[in-house]
A and B are shown apart, each in its own frame.
Chain A
Amino acid sequence: MKVPRPTIPTIDDLKRGLREIRWNLDIFVFIQLVVVLTIFILFLIVPLFRITFNAFIYGGSLSLRWFVEVFTDPYYFSPRIVFTETFPYIAVEGISGSLINVIKRPTDTGVETIILLVGYDLGVIPNTVLVAVMTTVFSTIIGFVFAFIFARYKFPGSEALRIILLAPLLSTPFVGAIGLKKMLTSEGVINTLFYDILGIMPFKIEPSGLMAVVLVQTLIFYPIIFLNAYTAIISIDPTMEEQAENLGASGFHLFRTVTLPLSLPGVEAGALLVFILSLEDLGTPIVFTGTNAEKVLTYQIFRRMFTPTGYISGEATALAMILLAMSIIIFLAIRKYVSLRRYAMLTKGGIWRPRTRKLSLKVSLLVYVVAFFTLFLALQPHIGVVLLAFAGEWGPTLLPGYFTLENFYTLFRDAAVFRSITNSLTYSITAMGLIIVLGVSAAYLVSRVKIPGIEALDALVTLPIAIPGIVIATGFFLLFLKTPLDPIINGAPLLIISYTVRKFPFTVRAVFAGFEQVDKALEESAINLGANRARVFFTIALPLVVLNILAGSMLSFIYSMSEVSTGIVIGDANHDTAPMTWKMYDILFKGLEGGLFVPAAMGFVLMTLQFIMIVGSNLLLRKRATALIGV
């Protein structure tokens, strides 16, 4: 009987494998790979493993105890199934709160009715999911409807309106939400304007708690869907719709069978991103502390570790693990959809005239009204921030008492505030430098080097999108206390690293897109003429993507400046080395002098920076796109 011989790789096979690796991995690429991998493993993967380790250890041994405790505690997970005597013999208990609360309050002139939008409270874990789901659904509806209107119809002012609708992309931590809070309370601008002054609302409306979080997040995040859906719809080959019309489809049937399915992949990718952003948002719940808005995962983890004594409870790490698991699942879904998305482009390349129609006057008016109302709501945070930044004092009136530049002087006069701003600038610029070096290397590797497993590197460097900042902060604390990187001694190193790792994907994406547009033959012809890889990289590859690098790093810089989660956690460990966002938090919530006005001025500065950087990077990339055509 023959015994099948196991296939052992022969010496020749091994030699060939080694030769193939050596062929593709010259010393320059090898160094790039090692450096990028080291940074990401040390400051992203190891901290996550450290949290995992902590969450599964109870009393010194391996245990699921923390997870059991979290899931059996009604505070974290309140719905309970109970059996009853009467039909249907089963019921769910433990859900508190209600959708709305009606309050009647006596005033000088009579009684006013305030409708409070509250929302149900199901416990921390279901709340987190529920808030993310509602935010995603509402932003998708608003974003998609607007995208469809602006992609398909032309009416006077539609271009300008389309750009203004993207304004909420300029977000300022805390202050935006505070601006909105100021606008939406029963004494806020909206109620004052529409109820007290104009009298066109029969009652006052005030969102509160979790519903307020959903509202704020929706208004901040809908532009992401809007952008994605708009791009998807205008890149549908018009002949596809024309073919369907030619075959007799029209109106809603055409939309449902052709337009919607073709634009869906883009919308889905955007919606999943919004879901992750909602999950990891810490700034908004902090603003609404004191209500059930506290009962979301980010805030709970934050509260449990905001005492940097060095001790982080297993409970907090278990919560962090749950949050991490949620966002990673969504991240994997995004990666699936983003690759699926390519089918939208399968038809043909090139630029075509999108199908647009003129709107009748009546419908135009309707669009104006809806768009202006949404804009009015969406711009509340920004209007609020601007008004507050220039306000001297602001009681329960429509506008501030008087306007002043005093708040901006304070930014320079108050040593602690000024130091936090220079700290933020230093960290963000340093991080930007690191991001450029690492990000360009990573983008080059993923785009150019053919070795097995290089896709894993791509996944690794985009992973930070999916890791909530509060989780990274937790991991850093667990890992680096009592090391030379201890945030209590000096927060700077860890903040720079955190900014670098977290805001890395923006640059990598931009630079990767650049490399993909550059014909590989441009580099091969240099190699052919005798240049080694390093020389090709610096003389050919880099100069050709320099605008992408600039655009990408501008985005990374500005998102570092406005980073919240790790900024306030690590910042609180050592106030002297804390960044701007921590100082804003500090002034707002510790009842210090300056109240709302100084943080608003800081927010205004951030907003201005964001505006410049986003417009600048868009201009750069657009110019590049045309500059390369025809060569």
Chain B
Amino acid sequence: MVKIKAVDIVKRFGKFTALRGISVDIRDGEFFTFLGPSGCGKTTFLRCIAGFEMVDQGRIYFDDEDITYLPAYKRNTGMVFQNYALWPHMTVYDNIAYGLKVRKVPKEEIDKKVKEVLKLVHLEGMEKRTPHQLSGGQQQRVALARALVINPRVLLLDEPLSNLDAKLRLEMRAELKRLQKQLGITTIYVTHDQEEAMSISDRMAVMDVGVIKQVGTPEEIYLRPKDPFVADFIGQGTFIHGQVLEEEDGRLVVELESGLGKVEAIPSDPTNKPRIGERVLIAIRPESFEVGVKDKLNLFDVSIYHVSFLGDRKRIQAEANGVKFIVELEPTVNVEIGKRIRISVPPKSTLAIRMG
């Protein structure tokens, strides 16, 4: 198992720059996710780690070994591809044994290892099947077994769950996490599904147009977005621009645009506080709102234009001075379309995010 370090990775495809200086440290045994919209460069970065793309600039290290220009077949990484990439002309056994045969492992040991890894992924006795005799979930497990059996330094997963149906996806997600913890293998996971990323990762990096916007634990990313893109991409929220008027005890007073008055907020990133006079984005998560007046601070009178019942809560879409609010309240709350209600939000849940 290794720790991975990437320093200032740049990758161009012709005139298009896919990666614009990616630096990241991934810890030994960590489950690390790259999350971002399609085209953000997350898969390209994974392919650079695997050695399928040559970086134009920067360095990649596995522990202290510089592998930047090491050919892909010498890197000893185990990759699971989005469509599994099982070889249709080989049986499950031959698929899994391939990497061991390449490594000239003796026949008896191959037999033993294939058996072990099949047990690990709950596919005992499937050796003789061919890939097209397997269900999607089983193919997924074979691909995983094939990557794990060579005892790779890193496990690389490229949207491995995206081809499965919703129920199976949840099962495999738990399964993946269990295996990863059991084996203690450093794992890089790539996905565009934020819920998946939040639920599975130790830490994650949010990417957009070839740069990393923020690295952190799922909680940090959700509760303390450092960047307007991250705040918007992860979860839902109400976003209002404003200007910092003053700062007191770590609290900021922000004058909102659109004539919505002043709010008290906290800096989303305490290490990089907005300065007085600076333009900021105020972000409020839907579940942070409350009904009824408890304080004179952070009040909004909004008119409701859409209500959806989600079972455990009600989601309300409302509007004030042209700003859209997304509010989630108790399901028992009595709200109607067309009515005005007064909502408030505590300052600790009102995040001031520096612009770009």
Contact of A525 among B51, B74, B85, B88 (CB under 8 A): B85
CA distance A519 to B89 in the complex (A): 13
Q: Whose C-beta in chain B lies nearest to the C-beta of A533?
A: B73
A23 touches B83 (CB 8 A): no
CA distance A524 to B103 in the complex (A): 17
A519 touches B83 (CB 8 A): yes
A530 touches B102 (CB 8 A): yes
Q: Whose C-beta in chain A lies nearest to the C-beta of B100?
A: A529
Indicate whether B138 reaches chain A with its CB closer than 8 angstroms.
no
A-B contact count (CB 8 A): 79
Indicate whether A72 reaches chain B with its CB closer than 8 angstroms.
no
CA distance A146 to B65 in the complex (A): 67
Residues of B within 8 A of A529 (CB): 73, 78, 98-99, 102, 146-147, 150
A540 touches B87 (CB 8 A): yes
Residues of B within 8 A of A521 (CB): 81-83, 85
CA distance A539 to B73 in the complex (A): 15
A528 touches B54 (CB 8 A): no
8 Å CB interface, B78-98 against A: 78-79, 81-83, 85-89, 98
Indicate whether A19 reaches chain B with its CB closer than 8 angstroms.
yes
Indicate whether A535 reaches chain B with its CB closer than 8 angstroms.
yes
- The answer to whether A530 and B86 touch (CB under 8 A), given A20-B54, A23-B54, A631-B132, is no
A26 touches B71 (CB 8 A): yes
Indicate whether A628 reaches chain B with its CB closer than 8 angstroms.
yes
8 Å CB interface, B197-230 against A: none
Q: Whose C-beta in chain A lies nearest to the C-beta of B50?
A: A528
A252 to chain B, nearest CB (A): 44
A27 to chain B, nearest CB (A): 11
- The answer to whether A631 and B79 touch (CB under 8 A), given A23-B54, A529-B102, is no
Indicate whether A527 reaches chain B with its CB closer than 8 angstroms.
yes
Indicate whether B52 reaches chain A with its CB closer than 8 angstroms.
yes
8 Å CB interface, B33-51 against A: 50-51
A631 touches B98 (CB 8 A): no
- Is the interface on chain A under 10, 10 to 19, 20 to 34, or 35 or more residues? 20 to 34
Q: Whose C-beta in chain A lies nearest to the C-beta of B78?
A: A528
Q: Whose C-beta in chain A lies nearest to the C-beta of B69?
A: A19
Q: Whose C-beta in chain A lies nearest to the C-beta of B81?
A: A521
Indicate whether B274 reaches chain A with its CB closer than 8 angstroms.
no
Residues of B within 8 A of A24 (CB): 54
A528 touches B72 (CB 8 A): yes
CA distance A529 to B78 in the complex (A): 7
CA distance A631 to B85 in the complex (A): 9
B113 to chain A, nearest CB (A): 13
B89 to chain A, nearest CB (A): 5
Indicate whether A397 reaches chain B with its CB closer than 8 angstroms.
no
8 Å CB interface, A495-527 against B: 519, 521-522, 524-527
Indicate whether B76 reaches chain A with its CB closer than 8 angstroms.
yes
Contact of A524 among B75, B85, B99, B150 (CB under 8 A): B85
Residues of B within 8 A of A544 (CB): 87-89
CA distance A531 to B146 in the complex (A): 13
Indicate whether B303 reaches chain A with its CB closer than 8 angstroms.
no
Interface-central residue, B87, B99, B131, by most chain A CB under 10 Å:
B87
CA distance A535 to B74 in the complex (A): 13
Residues of B within 8 A of A539 (CB): 98
Indicate whether A543 reaches chain B with its CB closer than 8 angstroms.
yes
Residues of A within 8 A of B88 (CB): 544, 628, 631
A452 to chain B, nearest CB (A): 11
8 Å CB interface, B168-183 against A: none
CA distance A528 to B77 in the complex (A): 6
8 Å CB interface, A541-594 against B: 543-544
8 Å CB interface, B272-308 against A: none
Residues of A within 8 A of B85 (CB): 519, 521-522, 524-525
Indicate whether A110 reaches chain B with its CB closer than 8 angstroms.
no
Residues of A within 8 A of B69 (CB): 19, 23
CA distance A525 to B85 in the complex (A): 7
Q: Whose C-beta in chain A lies nearest to the C-beta of B102?
A: A530
Indicate whether A422 reaches chain B with its CB closer than 8 angstroms.
no
- Which 4 pairs from chain A and chain B are nearest by CB? A529-B99, A521-B85, A631-B88, A525-B85
B residues with CB within 8 A of A: 50-52, 54, 56, 69, 71-79, 81-83, 85-89, 98-99, 102-103, 131-132, 143, 146-147, 150, 156
With A530-B73, A530-B103, A531-B73 known, 6 other A-B pairs at CB within 8 A are A524-B52, A524-B79, A526-B87, A528-B77, A528-B147, A631-B86
- List, sorted by A's number, 24 A–B pairs whose CB atoms are closer than 8 Å: A20-B54, A521-B85, A522-B85, A524-B52, A524-B72, A524-B79, A524-B81, A524-B85, A525-B85, A526-B98, A528-B77, A528-B79, A528-B147, A529-B73, A529-B78, A529-B102, A529-B150, A530-B99, A531-B98, A533-B73, A543-B89, A544-B88, A544-B89, A630-B132
